[in-house]
Amino acid sequence: MSLSFNLAEKLKAQCVAFDYVHQKGNPLLTEISYGFLSEVYDPCQGYWDKEMNWHEGKFDPYGWMVEDLVASLRIGEKT
């Protein structure tokens, strides 16, 4: 999973989904998507953060994207 966080950072992606297959224990990246289906993520029981900590419970990725956008606009106003 840390590979996904590293790739997202290098891509400077606010929202990205990675698909992997595993071959002999090695993850092979097969697809990168800028979006995801709410039907898949809404029932998720938690999420991992960048420090690889598991957070149990429902979460709102859509709200996080809006908050991130608003924060970046505020930073732009200050410069």
List the chain domain ranges. Answer: 2-78
Q: Are 56 and 45 in contact (CB under 8 A)?
A: yes
Start-to-end Cα distance in the chain = 34
Across-strand partners of 12? none
How much is the pLDDT for 61? 85
Q: Are 17 and 36 in contact (CB under 8 A)?
A: yes
Lowest mean pLDDT among 7-11, 26-30, 33-37, 48-52: 33-37
Which helix or strand (DSSP H or E) is residue 29 part of?
strand 26-33
How much is the pLDDT for 79? 57
Q: What's the chain's average pLDDT? A: 88
